[in-house]
């Protein structure tokens, strides 16, 4: 009888611990106060109570398998951004930077508008909208780098992001565009009229300086 009583007590304690763990896990999963990014699949989520922009599945796209993004090159940043501003005013992503790139890289067109409550992707039919330019270190994929997003209203949001190789499900994401070299400026060619005038002046000069041949 005493042995059975001890067994029942042990089972009750174990059940209470299990229930408490489940409640704690649920609370942590729904708590928006955390400032630490949450790893989900390959990307990173950033959600804070004091932040008017929510970030979903953010990552840096690396090279394809077996290749390297060289130092001096560029790497795109992908994510989905949602402005949670309650005053109805849109925010704007204006630049991105990293501890492995040069100065902050501005987004084209003065920035990417974020209307309140709308999900805006950094992916577009023409390619990535945010790019880390001027890498100071070569990237092979599999690294973790610090990235900062500069918002017009929300300020700077920093997170540690994975560099995901461009393979598998990530093959559909485009790499950073290759910079187009500007054409070298050449001096315009002389017009036919100017060329003819110069030739005429040269002939006159030669005629003036020529010495007449004496008649025998």
Residues of the chain with pLDDT under 50: 1-40, 182, 185-188, 190, 206-207, 209-210
Q: Given the structure tokens 């945010």, which residue do they identify?
A: 130
Sign of the four-CA dihedral 164, 168, 174, 180 = positive
**pLDDT for position 112:** 97
Q: Taking the CB of residue 95, how many other CB atoms lie within 10 A of it?
A: 17
pTM of the shown model: 0.66
DSSP 125-175: TTEESEEEES-SS-B-SS-EEEEEEEETTTEEEEEEEEEE-S-GGGGGS--
What is the Cα Rg of the chain in Å?
33
How are beta strands 74-83 and 53-61 bridged, if at all? antiparallel
pLDDT tens digits for range 78-95 = 999 999 988 999 999 999
């Amino acid at each position: 009888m005493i042995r059975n009583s001890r067994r029942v007590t042990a089972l009750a304690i174990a059940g209470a611990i299990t229930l408490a763990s489940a409640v704690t896990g649920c609370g942590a999963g729904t708590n928006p106060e955390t400032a630490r990014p949450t790893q989900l699949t390959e990307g990173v989520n950033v959600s804070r109570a004091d932040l008017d922009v929510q970030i979903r599945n953010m990552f840096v796209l690396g090279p394809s398998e077996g290749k390297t993004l060289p130092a001096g090159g560029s790497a795109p940043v992908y994510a989905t951004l949602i402005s949670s501003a309650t005053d109805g005013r849109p925010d704007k992503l204006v630049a991105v930077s990293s501890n492995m790139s040069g100065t902050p890289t501005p987004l084209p067109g003065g920035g990417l508008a974020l209307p309140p409550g709308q999900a805006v992707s950094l992916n577009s039919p023409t390619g990535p909208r945010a790019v880390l330019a001027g890498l100071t270190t070569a990237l092979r994929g599999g690294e973790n780098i610090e990235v900062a997003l500069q918002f017009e209203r929300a300020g700077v949001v920093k997170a540690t992001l994975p560099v995901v190789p461009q393979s598998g499900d990530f093959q559909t994401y485009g790499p950073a565009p290759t910079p187009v070299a500007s054409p070298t400026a050449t001096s315009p060619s002389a017009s036919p009229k100017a060329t003819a005038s110069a030739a005429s002046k040269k002939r006159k000069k030669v005629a003036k300086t020529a010495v007449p041949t004496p008649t025998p």
